[in-house]
A and B are shown apart, each in its own frame.
Chain A
Amino acid sequence: MREELPSNSPFCERYGVACPRVTETGWRALPDLVEEAAARAPRATAIIGERETTYGELARGVRAVAGGLAAAGVAPGDVVGLASGRSERAPALALGIMRAGAVYLPLDPLYPAPLLAHMAESASVRTVIVDGSTGGLPAAEHTTVDAAELLASPSLSDRLPGAAPCAAAYVMFTSGSTGLPKGVLLGHAGLAEYARALPAHLSLGGEDRCLGVAPLGFSSSIRELLLPLARGASVVVPAEEEVRTPWGVADLVREHRVTHLDLPPSYWRAVLDAMPAGELGEALASVRGVLFASEPLDVALTHRSRPLLPRARLWNTYGCTETTGIIAAHEVTGTEPADSLVPIGTPLGHVSFRIRPGDGGLVVSGDAVTLGYLTGGPPPGGGCARRRWETGDRVTTVDGTMVWTGRTDRVLKVRGMRVVPETVEHHLRAYPGIARAAVVGAGERGVACVVARTPASAPLDSRALTAWLRERLPGHMVPTVITDVPAWPVLPNGKTDHRLLIARHRPDPGQSPHH
């Protein structure tokens, strides 16, 4: 049974496109899936942070937030910012925003103030929920709502219409090529499909406890904090201090009997380097699944992991912000060739893949593909149309599974987070005295750049330059190596000879002081 109704989706109205609301028997948005899990087991533990939250409390919190936002005048389609770090309240706040039909936008207080201001302005944020500090977010352009007061609001969810599949569920900012990050809109239909596909692939159930370390402003936080809740599993939310010490995660796993870890390989490698193997192996005895995400996984790391996690299944996964998250997975078998990357596997089933002939570019289609960028206009056919996304990744198929072979563009990753070189170069060139700038590579520590100064300019003060960049870029994009060169190589057409610069100055990609 499928019923099509005239649209009142703010997304469609905003872009002036035909976008029918599709109501399908059985359609459930992510907040609905969580409420269903709560109805099945209201006393089960949903979230473990500074205190434990049951599913019943979580569901009440979600409805309270939705009701409180509606009472505050938030309308479906409005973008609501959440100024908060990772916390046990974040899932209820994010889901409550979505339950109100609004669009969730994390505003991580750890981001530089100008970046937060840009995010809030370009998303036309009029309401910001504040849980703790707002960081440097300017207060002038929006009203603020206190998170604790919102969670204590009367629930008004019966009057709320719920989310339409075509509507946007959340927006995440990712590196843009113009110097400023772009807001990526993700839809409810794709998020709900993702919430069914990934936890099912991992066989998550009500007895499982999941822990991840992604900051709230990073799209992996959607997967780590919200998706297990659609299956009735528990989410363990580490404090910032626990994520920043190598024993923090191990202690949490031991204390709460965590069953599933969700980590970027670079983070896991740092923990392995720091912790005595015996102590770590003992702490992780309850783990039965590790999901590696956000950056390429090398086979050597899986070989180091296996003796510590003899009972655990290990997955390498692949996905992008623009695909709502993970769309392919490969379970590590232990037979992968040494000195290689672990395959990214096969599609999870909620998306379709096509490998473009010629360059091997990976093209993804399905509801999980982004609705579009905040500044980029509407996707062809509106938010309900079948969409496709050219990932920029090159893959090849080996024995029926995909292997990542590189990029079709210059995008890099640092500790799982995307770096668009043009963004870094834009800000470097804007610094007084710098005429040319090029990103030449990225290692685990960060980005390496080469710059050339304007004639007669004074030598660069690297500290001042770094401080200046920190005010404009997220931490992972601030260069860790800046080399000032006297002569800038150019091609016959006058453009920068990136190949030569990279050959001369590229960092060792696996560079780590402990290897």
Chain B
Amino acid sequence: MSHTYDTAHDLRALVRDLWLSLLPDGHSGTFADGGGDSLSALRLIGAVYGACGVRMTWDDLGTATDVDDFATRVLAAVPGEDGR
């Protein structure tokens, strides 16, 4: 039996998991709203790089309105994903 993965959904869930592992209070709002600091940002951007191979920037993270917005930006940066 085969299983078709929804890669966009999986990546979005992955980014959300990474975000919330660093910011337990980060369910809504920006990275800074959730208590994110420079080391958390380094870890999150690094974890995304390790998992997806894309280099997100501090600006990508700092201007994201919430975790879903950041996940959308990650998906848009991953080759073959359209972020939707």
Interface residues of A (CB under 8 A from B): 240-241, 243-247, 266-267, 270-271, 273-276, 415, 444-446, 462-463, 466, 475-476, 478, 480, 512-514
Q: Smallest CB–CB gap between B35 and chain A, Å?
A: 5
List the B side residues contacting A512 at CB < 8 Å: 43
Asked if A245 and B55 sit within 8 Å, CB to CB, the answer is: yes
Residue in chain A with minimal CB distance to B41: A244
Q: By DSSP majority rule, is chain A's interface helix, strand, loop, or mixed?
A: helix
Binds A, one of B6-14, B44-52, B76-84: B44-52
Q: Other than A270-B43, A275-B49, A480-B37, give 10 A-B pairs with Cβ distance below 8 A.
A: A240-B58, A244-B45, A244-B58, A273-B50, A275-B50, A444-B39, A446-B37, A476-B37, A478-B35, A514-B43
Asked if B57 and A245 sit within 8 Å, CB to CB, the answer is: yes
Residue in chain A with minimal CB distance to B40: A445
Asked if A466 and B55 sit within 8 Å, CB to CB, the answer is: no
Asked if A274 and B46 sit within 8 Å, CB to CB, the answer is: yes
Q: A245-B58, A513-B21 are in contact. Are A274 and B35 (CB under 8 A)?
A: no
Asked if A274 and B42 sit within 8 Å, CB to CB, the answer is: yes
Q: Smallest CB–CB gap between B30 and chain A, Å?
A: 11
List the B side residues contacting A446 at CB < 8 Å: 35, 37
Q: A270-B46, A274-B45 are in contact. Are A475 and B37 (CB under 8 A)?
A: yes
Q: Is B38 an interface residue (CB 8 A)?
A: yes
CA A224 to CA B37, docked complex, whole Å: 22
List the B side residues contacting A478 at CB < 8 Å: 35, 37
Q: A241-B57, A514-B47 are in contact. Are A246 and B42 (CB under 8 A)?
A: yes
List the B side residues contacting A415 at CB < 8 Å: 39
A247 in complex: contacting residue of B37, B39, B55, CB < 8 Å: B55
List the B side residues contacting A276 at CB < 8 Å: 50
CA A514 to CA B58, docked complex, whole Å: 20
CA A271 to CA B59, docked complex, whole Å: 19
Q: A245-B57, A463-B33 are in contact. Are A271 and B46 (CB under 8 A)?
A: yes
List the B side residues contacting A244 at CB < 8 Å: 38, 41-42, 45, 58
List the A side residues contacting B39 at CB < 8 Å: 266-267, 270, 415, 444-445
CA A276 to CA B49, docked complex, whole Å: 9
CA A412 to CA B18, docked complex, whole Å: 27
Q: Smallest CB–CB gap between A75 and chain B, Å?
A: 37
Asked if B45 and A245 sit within 8 Å, CB to CB, the answer is: yes
3 pairs of A and B residues whose beta carbons are closest in the complex: A274-B46, A246-B46, A513-B21
CA A241 to CA B58, docked complex, whole Å: 6
Q: List 22 A-B contacts (CB under 8 A).
A: A241-B57, A243-B38, A244-B38, A244-B41, A244-B45, A245-B45, A245-B55, A267-B42, A270-B42, A273-B47, A274-B47, A445-B22, A445-B39, A462-B25, A463-B29, A463-B33, A475-B37, A478-B35, A478-B37, A480-B37, A512-B43, A514-B47
